[in-house]
Copies of this chain bind each other. A is one copy, B any other.
Amino acid sequence: MSFTYNRTVYFQDTDAAGVVYFANVLGICHEAYEESLAASGINRKDFFTNPSVAFPIIHANVDFFRPMFCGDNLVVSLIPQQLSINKFEITYEIIIANVVVAKAITRHVCIDVSSRTKQELSSEILHWLETNRRDAEDAERRKLRDIL
């Protein structure tokens, strides 16, 4: 199965139009990424404040299909994929009651923090990429088998 994160929509996520403010949806996706790192045994504090290695986002995009309201129960699933020796991306799907309400992607590059130059993905993140990729593939295979 691909990793999933359950998240309620809070009042502060919303705006005066009564729905989740668009940019906050990307923040919620990033929370799912953080939970997935923690589930893989990565220490979040160390990971996000590591003085030598960081994984800044170089691209993000998001598509909105349905509005999200205060109190809605979101299920965020994510599938990461390695793109090159120093890059990976994560695809997110947000579901409410079995309906996809948004999809998003974040693309990350591994850098040396002090010089801000690219460097090879660390073994820790490669392990996370592999585990989550395999879990997602297994889920896809099972789904396909059920259809056939």
Contacts and interface: CB of A to CB of B under 8 A. Distances in A.
Given A19-B56, A61-B61, A62-B61, A30 B45 contact: no
Contacts of A21: 11-12, 27
A16 interface: yes
Contacts of A124: none
Interface stretch (A66-74, A87-95, A136-144): A66-74
A31 to B, nearest CB: 5
A70 B44 contact: yes
A22 B106 contact: yes
Q: Secondary structure of the A side of the interface?
A: mixed
A61 B59 contact: yes
A44 B10 CA distance: 9
Nearest to A37: B71
A116 interface: yes
A63 to B, nearest CB: 5
Given A12-B21, A23-B27, A45-B69, 11 more contacts: A11-B30, A11-B48, A17-B54, A26-B26, A34-B71, A43-B71, A45-B71, A49-B69, A58-B63, A59-B62, A61-B61
